[in-house]
């Protein structure tokens, strides 16, 4: 995807409730960037792999301002795959928003503005993209950040527990365990977490229970 000067390819900008993470349930503006170099088998935003419109950074911030919200989440696709994503994050922080970015963990977060909350996936074996994990990103996590594991089966759960221990993730930041929607029963994941007394937050994708896979929600 060729970058335009000071522009990002935007698939959609919409207002909804945050369905995951520490701010779950809060009204949030979502800025969804087009394109992603990964093909996780459980992806629910395949529609954003292509398409979208090129918008200037100031134009994006102006559209966000139209919703008069406090929280902004920049997502994708994989937002960090676009050259000027970090520039947008800076502008949103400068405008006074509480900004988070949802990233696959396959792109470096080393140069990200320290004000941004990083919500970073670690891709599990069943995702089909585990080899894309960029483990050096662990060094750039701080207590406001979150690492997310989308868990499809028992093997994924055991791998996630091993990563939790190997990188001492609970000491670095908040850790989120989520059952892959339709692949693993949420109650099963809850039982495993309680059995092993893990220092993690279990999350359920609120937006899917409210609106299913409806786009723009």
How many other CB atoms are there within 10 angstroms of residue 56's CB atom? 15
Burial class (CB in 10 A: 0-12, 13-18, 19+), 214: exposed
Q: What is the pTM of this model?
A: 0.91
Residues paired with 8 in a beta bridge: 55
E strand or H helix at 176: strand 174-179
pLDDT digits (tens, 9 = 90+) for 54-105: 999 999 999 999 998 999 999 998 999 999 999 999 999 999 999 999 999 8
Domains and CATH numbers, the chain: 7-211 (3.20.20.70)
Distance (Å, whole) CA 66 – CA 35: 25
pLDDT digits (tens, 9 = 90+) for 103-114: 998 999 999 999
For position 181, what pLDDT does the model report?
82
Distance (Å, whole) CA 26 – CA 18: 5
Residues paired with 202 in a beta bridge: 177
Q: Classify 162 as helix, strand or coil.
A: helix
pLDDT digits (tens, 9 = 90+) for 177-190: 999 988 899 999 99
Q: Classify 99 as helix, strand or coil.
A: strand
For position 189, what pLDDT does the model report?
97
Of 133, 215, 146, 135, residue with least CA distance to 174 = 146
> Residue 149 corresponds to which tokens in the numbers above?
């594991």
């Amino acid at each position: 995807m060729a970058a335009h000067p000071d522009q990002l390819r935007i698939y959609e900008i919409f207002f909804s409730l945050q369905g995951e993470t520490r701010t779950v349930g809060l009204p949030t503006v979502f800025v969804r960037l087009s394109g992603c170099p990964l093909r996780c088998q459980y992806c629910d935003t395949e529609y954003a792999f292509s398409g979208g419109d090129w918008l200037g950074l100031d134009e994006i911030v102006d559209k966000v301002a139209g919703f008069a919200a406090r929280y902004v989440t920049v997502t994708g696709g994989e937002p960090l795959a676009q050259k000027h994503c970090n520039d947008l994050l800076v502008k949103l922080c400068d405008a006074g928003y509480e900004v988070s970015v949802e990233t696959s963990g396959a792109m470096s977060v080393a140069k990200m503005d320290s004000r941004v909350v990083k919500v970073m996936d670690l891709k599990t074996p069943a995702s089909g993209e585990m080899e894309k994990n960029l483990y050096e990103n662990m060094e750039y996590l701080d207590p406001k950040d979150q690492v997310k594991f989308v868990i499809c089966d028992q093997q994924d759960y055991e791998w996630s527990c091993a990563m939790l221990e190997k990188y001492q993730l609970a000491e670095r930041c908040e850790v989120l365990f989520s059952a892959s929607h339709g692949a693993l029963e949420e109650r099963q994941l809850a039982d495993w977490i309680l059995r092993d007394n893990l220092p993690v937050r279990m999350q359920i994708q609120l937006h899917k229970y409210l609106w299913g896979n409806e786009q723009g929600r």
